[in-house]
A = this chain, B = another copy of it.
Amino acid sequence: MKKYNVGIVGATDTVDQVFVKLLADHPWFEVTRLFASEKSKGQSYENAMEGKWRQSTPIPSKFASIVLETVGDDFTKGDLDIVFSASDSDSAEFIEEKLASVGIGVFSNSSFYRTDRRVPIIIPEINSFHFRAIKYQNFDSNRIITEGRKIKYQDISTSGLGFIVTNPNCTLQAATLPLYPIHSSGSLESVCITSMQAVSGAGYPGVPSLDILGNVIPYIAGGEEDKIKFEIDKIFGEYYDDPMCGFQESLLNISASCNRVPVINGHMVSVNFSTIEDYTKQQIIDMWDNFGPLEFLPSAQKPVLYLHQADRPQPRLDEMTGGGMTVSIGNLRKCDVLDWKFTSFVNNTIRGAAGGSILNAEYWAYHFDQ
C-alpha cells in the first residue's frame, strides 16, 4: 500500500485525542499536520494539550512537537492527502469545504455535512456503495469538467481530488451493524431504539457532573433522536448513480428514544424490530456470527459479536472488544409488540467516532485509490 500524509482538524478536542491515539502507529496513514483553533495556533501539540490530554496513555511522542496550524482562507494543500475532521458543527461547514476545495479527501466525524445531499454517511460494512456519491461532489472545482452543455465529473479513482465523506452519529452504530444482515436480506421493517448513552458522547466539558451523577437524563440536546432516524434512513437507503437522484430514504419505520446515563464511555441500546419474513433465534444469531470483518483493512474487526450470557453487553466489560471496533450484542429474545428485541453496545469514541472515520478512509484508500 502507498503511504498517505494525513492531517487532523480539531486536534485538541476530546474525540481528536482518540484520532491521535489510533493513528500513532497506523501502517498507511502518517500524521504530518495538526489543526486547531486560532487560540492554539503556533504552539506545539504537547504545549497546547497541557492539562487537556485525558487519555490514560501519554501523548505519542511523534505528535508532541508538531506545531498547530489553523485552516484559514489561504490554506494550501501542501503534502496532505487525507484529513480527519472532528470540527464542531459550527466550524465544520467552512473548514471541511475549504479542505475539499484544495484537493484533500476529508473524512469527517462532524454532523454538518451528513444532511448534505452530496455527501455520503458511510459504515463501510453496510453501505460502501455510497462512496459512489463522491464523484458528483463539487467541493473541488477541478472535479467538474464541462463539455459543451454537459457537466461531467472526474472519476472517483483519480487521486488528488477533494471530497467529503462522513461517518454517522455514534449511537446509531450500536443498532445498524446488528440490523444490517436482516436489512440486507430485504426483511427489516420497523425498528425502535432506546439508548443509554455515555457522557463521552457529549465531548468535553460536556455534561456537568451535577446533572448526571446518580441520575438519568431522558434527553440529548441537538436533535439526537431525529439525527438517528435521518441517518439510518440515509445509510440503509438506496443510492442512484446520478447527481439529481442520489440518496433515497429507506422504507423502514424508525423510532429512537435517547437517554444519558452516568457511564464514561460506550453507548447501550435496547432495540425492538420487526421483520417481513419469519426467522428463528438461531437464524439471526447465525447471521451475526457469519458477519465477517472487511478484508485487508488494518482497522477492520468483526463488526458484531453475539454474547450468550444474559447480562451482556455491558459498557465496562465490552468497551474494548475488537479494539473498540466491534459492536457487542446480547439477549436476543421474542418481542410481543414487534418481532424481536436485543441489547447492543458500541464504543462511541472508537467505532462510533474516530475509529469509524479511519475505517472509512482505509476502505476508500484500498478500494478506490490504488
Asked if residues B229 and A216 are in contact (CB atoms below 8 Å), the reply is: no
Instruction: Give the size of the chain A interface in residues (CB under 8 angstroms).
Output: 61
Instruction: Decide if A214 touches B259 in the complex (CB within 8 Å).
Output: no
Copies of this polypeptide in the complex:
4
Asked if A319 lies at the interface with its beta carbon under 8 angstroms from chain B, I say yes
Q: Which residues of B contact A204 (CB under 8 A)?
A: 208, 210
Chain B residues lying within 8 Å of A211, measured Cβ to Cβ, are 54, 209
A199, A204, A336: most-surrounded residue (chain B CB, <10 A): A336
Per a CB cutoff under 8 Å, which of B254, B259, B313 touches A218?
Answer: B313
- B215 near A210 with CB under 8 A, answer no
Q: Known: A196-B259, A218-B268. Is A208-B208 also a contact (CB below 8 A)?
A: yes
> Contacts A270-B194, A337-B338, A338-B337 given: A314-B216 contact, CB under 8 Å?
yes
8 Å CB contact of A194 from B14, B54, B215, B257: B257
Is there a chain B Cβ closer than 8 Å to A73's Cβ? no
The stretch from A37-45, A63-71, A304-312 touching chain B is A304-312
Q: Compute how far the CA of A143 lies from the CA of B216 in the bound complex, rounded to whole angstroms.
A: 48
A341 & B206 in contact (Cβ 8 Å cutoff)? no
8 closest Cβ contacts across the A-B interface?
A205-B208, A194-B194, A219-B311, A218-B343, A214-B214, A257-B270, A255-B337, A209-B209
Which of A208, A312, A315 counts the most B-chain CB atoms under 10 A from its CB? A208
